[in-house]
Each structure stands twice: as C-alpha cells, then as structure tokens.
Amino acid sequence: MTAHRRGRVAAALACVSLLSFTACASNNGSPGANPTGVIPTANSTEGGTLPPGEPDVNGDGKVVIGVLSPGDINDHGYYQSFVDEADRFAAQQGWTVIKRGSVAPTDALAAARALCQQHVDMVALGASELKDAIPAAAEPVCDKTAWYVPASGNLPVTPKIMLSSDIASQSVFVGGYAVGMLMKAKGVTKAGFIAGPAADYSTRAAAAFRAGIREVIPEATVTNTFTGDNNDSAKAKEAMQAQISQGVKAVYPYLGGGTDAAASLANTSGVMTLTPGTDRCSSTSPKFDVSVLFSPGDYFAAALQDFAAGKLRMGIARVWKMGVDPYPTVKICNPTGDQNTMLQKFIADIGSNKIDVDTEVQKLGS
C-alpha cells in the first residue's frame, strides 16, 4: 500500500509482482540508480550518502519537516498516521512541520518545489502516488533537503532520496488469516472486502485477503466490492449494506476516509472488521476485531529518529518485513484460547520463509 498502499493503501499493494520490494525497486542499472548497489534492510543504515549537517540540512539554525500527502490527513487512519508521527516527533525535538494534504498527483512536483522554497530540511511524501514530485529532489531549489519516500512499484533508488517500503501482500494475507480464526470460532464462512478503485493494488489485496482466510477455512468465500472512491463515506456504507444483505460476517474496509462509515455499519450487524494500517483495538466507535498494522507513521518514526541523530542516508531503500521487523504486523484485538499463539507462529513462519506468501496467494487467492 500500495495502500491499502493509496486511497489509503495505494502504496500498500502497488508492487505488481507481489514479490519482495528489493525486486520491485530494481531498475536494472537505469540512469539515477542506487550508486552504491546496496539495498539495506529496515535495520541497516549502510550505503548511500549522508546529507551534511543533518538534521539541519540547509544550515539555517532550525529544522523544518515538510509533508505532502495525497490523502485526507484527518482520516483517522493511513494518511493521518503519517502526519501525526511527524507532529509528535517534531514537538519532542522542537522542530517545525509544514504539512499539506489532498495533494493531487498532478500537483506533486509543484507542491514539492513550494516546500523547498520554504526552506524545509526534509521533504516527506505520505504515499507513493506523489512520486512525480521526486525530480524536484535533484533541482537547485531543493538542493539542501533530505527526502523520505514511501516506495511501491518500480521506483528507482536515486542519490537524493530514501525509499521506505514493506512487502505489501504480507500484511493483508496475515490479516485474512487472523480474521479467519475468528470466523472459524463462530462457525461462519462468508467474508467481504471493500476497496475504492478496482486498481491493481486493490485487486491483489483482495486476493491476498482471501488466501489468508482460506489458510484457516478452505471453503470460505469472499465478496469483493470496489466503490471507486476510498474516501466517499456514502459509497462505503452502500457497499457495506449490500454485503450485509448477502450474509457477510467479516469485512475488510480497505479504505481511507470511508473506513469508519463502513466499520460503523458493520458493527450494527455484528460483522467483524479489520483496520487498514493502524492499531485501533482500543476504539469503541467504531469497533474493530483485528488491527492490520502497516501504518506509514510507524516506518516514518524510524526515519525521523535517524534524521535527528544525523544518520538518515539518501540513496538507499529500507524494506520492512513481516516476522522480522516490528512492523508490519497484525494483532487480534481480543484473542481467545490459542489464537494469539497461532497468529504469532504464523507471522514467524513468514519471517523465516517457511511460509511463502506469494505462493499461498497464487494457490488460495483466486
């Protein structure tokens, strides 16, 4: 997520091959490629180059973080988590945050240039839909800036940016497995998946979700609905109502601003729900049964910590892996019996490559 990912998760599932990000990021030596050839994992800071003076990259005596998001930065989910983390960390450090939400991809380049003109030390993109902003990193106006870019698809690693990504299929697949255990405990077999546009990332997410459920309930069925808009609450509710009418007992609202509308309606009919990216197990309105955690804010936090310590390198990609790193991960909000133990083992088996997610999705997701 694409993204879900990305709507909320276009960043989450945009890697068209559903392979590891390392494969997705490769550009086969095209111009602007990673000059070191090093693609570090999430816990590595080797390779690349270190901007002089970091975090005060432009040397003006203050640190300013500029954030551009393609989505609603008050969506209580995927997009908001990114700016919330920037605000939280900046407050601790005495930094300033300049943020702008709902940036259209066609406006990304101009918006990035405008941030640089405000003397920011970092340009942080909230999702890879804004990848058209990246050329500004090499322009004189942005010469003294660091860049943080959530990665998906075939974005090349260039000297002026740091890419950050997870293996998107993993979180959705494990979310399906987790809710599959809850469905099995209740003796139900019908689930639903609601997304915005029927794009590559969302259709692949639907397949991964179905495959995860079928790891537990082989005969399970999943009804997919694509509303065309990740943030339209009316469309989300309409889709949810239709699925309730079809007997769906668990639903994944793989949405942005429409998430709570769908989840609230699901609550009224006792339909189990999952979160798209953030931990909302403590939420009561709406209530969620499974938190699928691939929040961009969690990844951004690590980058900001390195930035504050003068260790955030450009020209590298950091890949976060299920069962290896703290995020992405999945939690059942109120597990019973051995559900949590089984979930943790399943996650660990993915981290150790005992379970190959791509193979399982191909086998069970159709």
Block residue for tokens 């601790």: 92
Question: Percentage of the chain surpassing pLDDT 70?
Answer: 86
Query: Of the segments 35-49, 151-165, 188-202, which one has the largest average pLDDT value?
Result: 188-202
40, 316 in Cβ contact below 8 A?
yes
* Residues ≥6 apart with Cβ < 8 Å to 116: 66, 123, 136, 139, 141, 142, 145
Separation between Cα atoms, residue 327 and residue 349, nearest integer Å: 15
Query: Residue 91's CB: how many other CB atoms inside 10 A?
Result: 11
3-state secondary structure 153-185: CCCCCCCCCEEEEECHHHHHHHHHHHHHHHHHH
pLDDT at 165: 85
DSSP 123: E
DSSP 56: S
Block residue for tokens 């816990």: 43
pLDDT at 152: 66
Q: Please state the separation of Cα 246 from the chain's center in Å.
A: 29
Domain ranges of the chain: 21-167+297-320, 169-293+326-364
69, 102 in Cβ contact below 8 A?
yes
Is there a shared CATH topology between the 21-167+297-320 domain and the 169-293+326-364 domain?
Answer: yes
Specify the higher pLDDT residue, 31 or 355: 355
Helix 259-268 crosses helix 233-245 at what angle (to 10 degrees)? Answer: 30
- pLDDT tens readout for residues 117-175: 999 999 999 988 899 999 999 999 999 999 999 886 668 888 999 999 888 899 999 99
pLDDT at 80: 86
Give the pLDDT mean for 75-80.
76
Separation between Cα atoms, residue 119 and residue 56, nearest integer Å: 10
Separation between Cα atoms, residue 41 and residue 316, nearest integer Å: 9
Separation between Cα atoms, residue 183 and residue 174, nearest integer Å: 14
Q: Right CATH number for 169-293+326-364 from 3.40.50.2300, 3.20.20.450, 3.40.640.10, 3.30.420.40?
A: 3.40.50.2300
Lowest mean pLDDT among 12-26, 149-163, 209-223, 286-300: 12-26
Residue 148: which H helix or E strand, with range? strand 146-150
DSSP codes of every residue in 67-105: EE-SS-TTSSSHHHHHHHHHHHHHHHHT-EEEEE-S--G
85, 277 in Cβ contact below 8 A?
no
pLDDT at 148: 96
**Strand 329-332 to strand 290-293: parallel, antiparallel, or no bridges (unpaired)?**
antiparallel
Locate 110 and state its tokens.
Answer: 């101009």
CATH T-level assignment (fold) for domain 21-167+297-320: Rossmann fold (3.40.50)
In the predicted structure, residue 29 carries a pLDDT above the cut 90: no
Specify the higher pLDDT residue, 36 or 362: 362
Helix (H, G, I), strand (E, B) or coil at 141: helix
- pLDDT tens readout for residues 331-361: 999 999 999 999 999 999 999 999 999 999 9
Question: Percentage of the chain surpassing pLDDT 90?
Answer: 70
Query: Residue 268's CB: how many other CB atoms inside 10 A?
Result: 11
pLDDT at 34: 31
